[in-house]
Amino acid sequence: MPLSLEGKKAVVAEVNEIASGALSAVVAEYRGIGVSDMTELRVKAREAGVYLRVIRNTLAKRAVEETEFACMQEAFVGPLVFAFSLEAPGAAARLLKDYAKENKMLNVTALSIGGKLLGPEQLDAVASLPTKDEAIAMLMSVMQAPVGKLVRTINEVPGKLVRVLAAVRDQKQAA
């Protein structure tokens, strides 16, 4: 059943709102994928914090017009599924990359992050971006390394003194 004009406006407004707050977007062609497989993909997307939607390309073009994903409009050809990362920049790319390994019918056609259009060959790079917690952990380990080295260096001075005194004691005892 076709959507009414009001229904189309509601879909465009919903996708525009999501796209305005999204960190990255991935577009993939889903031709040949069954309903049960798409349902499984939607469940995984909800768990990963990814907004997944299948909409008409003309509506998608209108929905992303005034967002940073407007650069993707030329890639909206064929039956597409749109994935927007809401929490981590690489979440949508990671989700579709992992799903494409299981289901060869899913082909990523374009992705965008930071207002730049990237080709499907960049999927691995975007999918490997760390989550917020992973990035904070990496930053903290980098910040902690110099402090740890300073503590070990300062601790080495009394340790060396103790070893020298022990060597002198052993030498005197031997003599």
Return the pLDDT at 1.
56
End-to-end CA distance of the chain: 103
Q: With 0-12 CB in 10 A as exposed, 13-18 as middle and 19+ as buried, what is 153?
A: exposed
Query: Per the confidence metrics, is the pTM higher than 0.75?
Result: no
CA distance 42 to 48: 10
Q: Which pLDDT belongs to residue 43?
A: 92
Indicate left, alpha or beta for 115 from its phi (over 0: left) and psi (-120 to 50: alpha). left
CA distance 98 to 127: 9
Profile the chain (175 residues) by mean pLDDT over runs of 10 residues. Answer: 82 88 88 87 89 89 87 86 87 87 85 83 75 83 85 85 89 88
